[in-house]
Structure 1
Amino acid sequence: MQCKRKVCLCALLCGAVFVMLATHTIQKNSLLPITLLVPRPATATTTKAQPEAPPPATPTLPRPSGESCSCPSCVADKGRSEWFDQRYDSEQQPFLTAQNTSLPPLTLKWWLALQRSAPDLKVEEVIEKMFQVIASPSPDWRPQKNRCNKCAVVGNSGNLLGSNYGPLINSHTYVIRMNKATTGGFEKDVGNKTTHHIMYPESAVDVQPGVHLVLLPFKLRDLQWVASALSTGEIKMTYMRVKERVKADKDKVIVVNPSFFKYTCDKWTEHHGRYPSTGMLALIFALHICDEVSVFGYGADSQGNWHHYWEHNRYAGAFRKTGVHNADFETQVILKLDSEGKIKLHKG
């Protein structure tokens, strides 16, 4: 009996030892080492550096331009000067064409009264005969969005002497001179480029090939004269002896419209003086054929003298005190155009 108990106890102990050993083995095989529980860092690999992508190109911004042309600021743009808008009429036709030979009755009456004309002449017939000699000008004078005509209007004032404006004047698209203006010997101050030369019979000069002869007709006789001066040379007198022939390209002659005279007198000089001066008409003409206008050689010199830069007579200056033109009022208009940003006035 006692032996049986020993056997049972021994079997029980062996069973307990077996269970303990089996449990230990299972735990060992089921638990991973702690190092395996922590994720390994990715293996570092050496890669070739990729070049950085170039920055996006800066978009080219369009150059600021005006509303009616491609210049930064255009003469014809409205809404920038109330004073200017009240006077400037973009519909005014600056010059005569073969298709427009009739003048409004009020304009005709006013114009014919400026200087005496032969009473038996018919205006339409004179204009038609004139266009048998000269070509009708191109109609593309109005501002265009893809164009920027920069113009220099060069007066004849002695204030140009010593100015060194020559290169600046020459840089403009159009250079407008007037009357007996000369450039020889004065190129440093006045330049030597001319595209338009404004004159009337009594102030006529020859112009170089390619230059527009711009006639200011103060009377009907002047229309006859330009046709004669470019053909037969038969007209030798107006109210004084005049140049019988003029050298100029017939296909580049421009005759300022008498209606444009009246418009300049009504709107710009406001009937101060009998009629506007050549300088004032040239400036208003430029405001209608140019997109930007720079003005040189207007007014008195620094000592207050009104004279031409090529003359030694420092007290010349036609019409300033005669009452035909009002130089002081015209000067105020020019200064106002400058202050309103419609022209750039270069003073000597």
Structure 2
Amino acid sequence: MPALRKMKLLTFLLLLVFLTSFFLNYTSTVMTTNWLFRKILKLPQRPCTCSRCIGDLEVSSWFAQRFNQTMQPVLTAHNSLLEEDTYSWWRKLQREKIPRNLNDTIRELFSLVPGDTDPMLDNEAVGCRRCAVVGNSGNLKASQYGAQIDEHDFVLRMNKAPTLGFEADVGSKTTHHLVYPESFKELGENVSMILVPFKITDLLWVISATTNGTISRTYVPVPTKIKVKKEKILIYHPGFIKYVFDNWLQGHGRYPSTGILSVIFSLHVCDEVDLYGFGADSKGNWHHYWENNPSAGAFRKTGVHDGDFESNVTAALASIHKIRIFKGR
């Protein structure tokens, strides 16, 4: 009987130790997770002196349901922890046979690139920050928007869009240019590059293109070297891409286009947003303003991007005066 009592007592003590250890670990994990969540996602709201500020959620319930002020659009060394579901979704966008470890890649990337020194990221600046997002549509031809575009504090362009020779219609000012490796073009000396990464190789390409130039091809040839200053390189956050896909596109298309990524990015860093060069021209043609490319609207049929749904999103934003859309000709 005493032996049985001792065994029961020992079992009870072991169970007590296990439960205590589990509780302490759980508490620590929850506290750490909550701290990381606050640290990663909570941003100070930038003071806005505009007559109408984008961050005002009371204007529209549709907007309030989609706009998440805490989401950070730019990846940095301090917010690079991806949730498992975000990482799983992102790495399927452009599948890689043998993807490199993401954490190691990010660590190497931010040992070379600051990633967080751009003036657009200054959340303490007081004022009315006006941004022009310039798309590539042929509706910019003969629009005479150039001077108007250049009046904005920040001018965002994307992919291979040129300005030389088209200044009267598209302007000459560029502060930020969104690209991925396959769409890169040489940028002006003081232009910030915003890399939109669709795979780990895209991050590796930034490392390579600013150092030894070993990557010359992804699924197509890419530039081995770029002349962008390292302090002028920003990385679009993969978690923000998923946020655009989930909240704004409601899962339409395989993943968002560079155009809608630019628009939602601007909602989070600007106080006023004006769109130029989006959509078809007045005759319904989808083409770029700098070339005759009859296949420019092919993406509308592939299912990669849902151009019609994305257009509906921008139209809805315009209808509640969150953005203005200049349709050109």
Shared fold per TM-score greater than 0.5: yes
When normalised by structure 2's length, the TM-score is 0.83
> Which residue number corresponds to residue 280 of structure 2?
300
Superposed CA RMSD in Å reads: 1.7
Query: Corresponding residue for 2:212?
Result: 232
Secondary structure in 1 aligned to 2:228? coil
Please tell me whether Structure 1 or Structure 2 has the larger radius of gyration of its CA atoms.
1
Partner Cα separation in structure 1 for residue 185 and residue 111 of structure 2 = 22
Preserved CA contact (<8 Å) 1:155 1:296:
yes
172, 187, 199: which one aligns with 1:192: 172
Q: How many angstroms does 1:304 deviate by?
A: 0.5
- Quote the residue 1:15 is aligned against: none
- Per-residue CA deviation, residues 67-109 of structure 1 (Å, 9 max, x unaligned), is 9401111111120111111100000010111122221111000
Counterpart secondary structure, 2:312: helix
Higher helix share: 2
TM-score, with structure 1 as normaliser: 0.78
- Between the aligned partners of 2:283 and 2:99, the Cα distance in structure 1 is 48
How do residues 1-348 of structure 1 correspond to structure 2 at under 5 angstroms?
68-119=47-98, 121-138=100-117, 141=121, 146-348=126-328
Residue 146 of structure 1 deviates from its aligned partner by 2.1
How many residue pairs get aligned? The number is 283
Q: Counterpart in 2 of 1:45?
A: none
Contact 2:274 2:323 in 1 (8 A): yes
Stretches of structure 1 that go unaligned for 5 or more consecutive residues are: 1-66
> 1:118 & 1:74 partners in 2: Cα distance?
45
Counterpart CA distance in 1 for 2:136 and 2:83 is 33
User: Partner residue of 2:35?
Assistant: none
Gaps of 5+ in 2: 1-45
- Residue 3 of structure 2 is matched in structure 1 by none
2:19 corresponding residue in structure 1: none
CA spacing shift, 1:142–1:133, aligned 2, 3 Å:
closer
Q: Alignment identity in percent? A: 49
- Which residue type is aligned with residue 102 of structure 1? L
Q: Quick one: which amino acid aligns to residue 278 of structure 2?
A: Y
Partners of 2:95 and 2:112 lie apart in 1 by: 24
Name the CA shift for 1:147/1:118 in 2 (closer, same or farther; >3 Å).
farther
